[in-house]
Amino acid sequence: MNYKKIKLAVFDWAGTTVDYGCMAPYVVFDETFKAKNIYLTKAEILEPMGMEKRDHIRTLLSTEKASAQWYKEYGRIWNDDDINDMYEFFEARLAEVAADFSEPVDGVVDTIKELRKNGIMIGSTTGYTGAMMENVIPKAKALGYEADYVVTPEIVGSGRPAPFMIYENMRKFNVYPPENVIKIGDTVMDILEGKNAGVWSVGVLDGSSEVALSKEEMSALSAEEIDIYRKNAINKYKKAGADYIIDSIKDIPELIKKINERMQEEK
């Protein structure tokens, strides 16, 4: 009998387990578009966060604002060659800076230790490519965080919101059915990835790209102002179909206990 309990936790990387506020991709996307004289707000840049990065560039270029700026600057609409050019710039720059944004989010190291102590395997998915992760993985490990498996979009042929990176984690650890898996992330794309895979899908608030605040920005705001950002993120997670929304990664062990109890009651 396949006992109903969480056996595998699949975490996102930037904005969830490392890089508080998901700053590395934001900074590099901003540089990438400014290099083409396209100017977008932080909120606009972060909107598709969680996607494979080439898809992210395409999504941003497809917005009315970016398309209009592009046409004004170049006298034509953008094309796939432009996306490839921007992606190459993005990939090279992110590889240069990503390690500088690899510090684990507060609570991650102890949370992962507790999950492993309880026999739960630690998988991960990301919108970064393998090349982008080359410097992130060892830096995060040196600072105390390591996933048991890292799945990038090129491994399975597609990124979020497709479920295949989660399925690859399930294949690797021989964990099924999907109800024995929990996916934790900080973007709408993470939630949709989890829902499409049929696993428990959880949105985290603290440090997330949906809240979209760095530590410095957080310290400059009042509690009431921060609450506005958090409520906006909660609404996005709910709209995407999140099964649960948690304040902090520290809440994961208790949430897993709750889900396990729920599944036993539903037998």
Burial 89-111 (b: 16+ CB within 10 A, else e): bbbebbbeebbebbbbbebbbeb
Which two three-digit tokens encode residue 227? 């609450």
Helix residue spans in 150-251 (DSSP H): 153-156, 164-173, 188-197, 215-219, 223-240
> φ and ψ at 156, to 5 degrees?
-110, -5
Structure tokens at 250: 């520290």
Residue 205 φ then ψ, to 5°: -95, -50
From the CB of residue 75, how many other CB atoms can be counted at a distance below 10 Å? 7
User: Active-site residue numbers?
Assistant: 12, 53
Q: Sheet of 181-185: strands edge to edge?
A: 121-124, 8-11, 181-185, 200-204, 244-246
Q: What is the DSSP string of 98-160?
A: GGGG-PBPTTHHHHHHHHHHTT-EEEEB-SS-HHHHTTHHHHHHHTT---S--B-HHHHT--T
